[in-house]
Amino acid sequence: MKYDVVLIGGGLSSLVCGISLQRTGKRCLMVSGGQNALHFSSGAFGLLGFRPDGSAVERPLEELDKLPANHPYRKVGAAKMHEYVNRVKPFFASCGVMLDGDPERNSWRLTPTGTVRPSWLAMSDVTLYEDSVVSIGRKALIANIAGYLDFNTAFLAEGLEKAGVTCRLEAVALPEFERLRTSASEMRSVNIARVMDHDQVWKKFVEQVCVLLRDEDVVVLPEVFGLHDEHILEQIRESIPARVVFVGTMAPSVPGIRCQSALKTAFEQAGGEFLMGDEVISSEMDGERVLSVRTANLGDTVLEADHFVLATGGFFGRGLQATAEAVSEPVFGLDVDAPEERTQWYNPDFFAPQPYTRFGVHTSENLRAMKAGKEMENVYVIGSELGGADALCEGSGAGIAVMTGFKAAEMING
């Protein structure tokens, strides 16, 4: 089968790249080994949240020239970064995902443990604040679903109390959730959301919250609404006579799944072909050109393409693999930026920056993959498969995915 572009990996970077390409007339096929890391997204995207010294960034674009030369943003280039940041909201809106926030200035979001973290753009579940001292309100009612263990109300309350908000904790019990709770393990965010998304259920829930509400000006709820349709969030906000703030839970992420679903649909509606639960197992190359790939499921049906995009998601996505001796890239055997000595891969302090987070495929300035020191003509690397950034510590995971996704699409379009 012949395509213009084969994208390997089905995460945020690949979807952004693939949608962009498909909409400019390129025939794309995307191969994904399973569901992606958006399933664990907080619902907020980060462009650049922290400097290496740990201080918070206010205007990400002003920090670009301080980034090291092999940082993905440097490869995208300052001019393109400026152009792309203003493209993000309309792009996501065109896929049915409404994002809040100022593309050029960071805001703050409330985390499930009651702390605050810088955010760039966020889905409508997430409330964004102008300043780091979260001006959430004076008094908050934190309402959980009775029996739900993955929403840590104690931490949340303690964090808010530190910020000067008086908190009260309540739990709402409904027969529908009691039925869910009969399962020892499956009362998770997604399963609650599935039940909650029925009109009669979320309305009953909201009624109960209103009954519990006293003089609080803010109601805090877990992000267990709107698995498919975010309009429920709006309706809930309108039905409660207080400001409603949704806060994330343990995995999986309801807004993350909604976003992923919308992007995949947008890709397919634009004519893209998506293969779920498959992986590339071999390739045919001619010098520095990849001619075709084969996948586990398609067997002897060969996928030929003019361009290939490697968006295999680092260690989580299995795009990078580490044995006790070395780190490698399993699809094309590309060069990986990683030290040989295993003891240099990690930091013993869990909360300190971890060297392995920076590992990735070595690319040229143009995001083209390097193999045995040579630049591959038609293989682009995007997203967390790229090296050169500690996306976790600097808060740039989604930003790198989106920016490099746009950039690679533009380069392929020539």
Partner 1 sequence: MTNKNEFDVIIVGGGITGAGTARDCAMRGLKVLLIERHDIATGATGRNHGLLHSGARYAVTDRESATECIEENKILRKIARHCVDDTSGFFITLPEDDLAYQAKFVESCLAAGIQADIIDPKEAIRLEPSVNPTLIGAVRVPDGSVDPFRLCAANMLDAKLHGAKVLVYTEVESFIMEGDTVLGVRTVDQRTGEKAEYRAAVTVNAAGIWGHHIASLAGVNIGMFPAKGALLIFAHRVNSIVINRCRKPANADILVPGDTVCVIGTTSTRVPYEECDHMHVTPEEVDLLLTEGAKLAPVLENTRILRAYAGVRPLVSADNDPSGRNISRGIVCLDHEVRDGVKGFVSITGGKLMTYRLMAEQAADAVCKKLHVNQVCKTAVTPLPGSATGSVEEVSRKLWSVPVTVQKAAAGRSGDWAEKIAMDHPMDRSLVCECEEVSVGEAEMAIRDLDVHNLTDLRRRTRVGMGTCQAELCACRAAGLLAKAHGCADRARADLKDFMNERWKGMYPVAWGETLREGEFTQWIYKAVLGL
Partner 2 sequence: MNDHKFEQCIKCTICTAYCPVVAVNPLYPGPKQAGPDGERFRIKNKFFFDENLKYCMNCKRCEVACPSGVNIADIIHSARMRYGHQKPNLRDMILASTDLMGVMARPVAPVVNAVAGSKAGKWAMDTFLGVDQHRTFPKYQFKGFVGWFKREMEASQASYPRQIAFFHGCSTEFQHPEVGKAFVQVMNALGFGVQLLDEECCGVAMISNAMWKQAKQHARHNISAFEAAVAAGLPVVTTGSTCTFTMRDEYPHILGVDNAKVRSSIVLVEKFIHDLVDQGKVKLVFRKDYKARMAYHIPCHMEKLGWSIFTKNLLQMIPGADLTVLGSGCCGIAGTYGFKKENYAYSQAIGQPVFDEIARVNPDFVVSECDTCKWQIEMSTDYPVRNPIMVLAEALDLEATSAANR
- Residues lying near partner 2 in the complex (CB under 8 A): 1, 33-37, 39-40, 179-186, 188, 190-191, 194, 251-252, 257, 273, 275-279, 295-301, 316-318
Nearer to partner 1 among residue 291 and residue 322 (C-beta): 322
Among 282, 316, 333, 366, binds partner 1 (CB under 8 A): 316
What is the C-alpha separation between 80 and 407, in angstroms, rounded? 8
> How many positions of this chain bind partner 1 (CB under 8 A)?
55
Structure tokens at 207: 């009624």
Among partner 2, partner 1, none, what does residue 349 contact (CB within 5–8 Å per kind)? partner 1
Q: Tally Cβ neighbours within 10 Å of residue 195.
A: 19
Q: How far is the CB of 156 from partner 2 (least distance, A)?
A: 21
Q: How far is the CB of 383 from partner 2 (least distance, A)?
A: 14
Among partner 2, partner 1, none, what does residue 301 contact (CB within 5–8 Å per kind)? partner 2
Nearer to partner 1 among residue 30 and residue 320 (C-beta): 320
Residue 139 β-bridge partners? 166
Asked whether position 343 contacts partner 1 by CB under 8 A, the answer is yes
Question: Which positions from 236 to 275 touch partner 1 by CB under 8 A, shown as an x/- string?
Answer: ------------x-xx-x----------------------
Residues 83-122 that bind partner 1 (CB under 8 A): 111-117
The CA radius of gyration of the chain, in Å to the nearest whole number, is 22
Nearer to partner 2 among residue 82 and residue 316 (C-beta): 316
Q: Tally Cβ neighbours within 10 Å of residue 69.
A: 8
Among partner 2, partner 1, none, what does residue 42 contact (CB within 5–8 Å per kind)? partner 1
Q: Tally Cβ neighbours within 10 Å of residue 257.
A: 22
Among 42, 127, 189, 283, binds partner 1 (CB under 8 A): 42
Q: Which residues have a Cβ under 8 Å from the Cβ of 21 and sit 6 or more positions away?
A: 4, 5, 28, 409, 412, 413
What is the C-alpha separation between 17 and 167, in angstroms, rounded? 43
- Residue 9: its H or E element: none
Structure tokens at 22: 């498909």
Peptide bond into 252 cis (omega under 30): yes
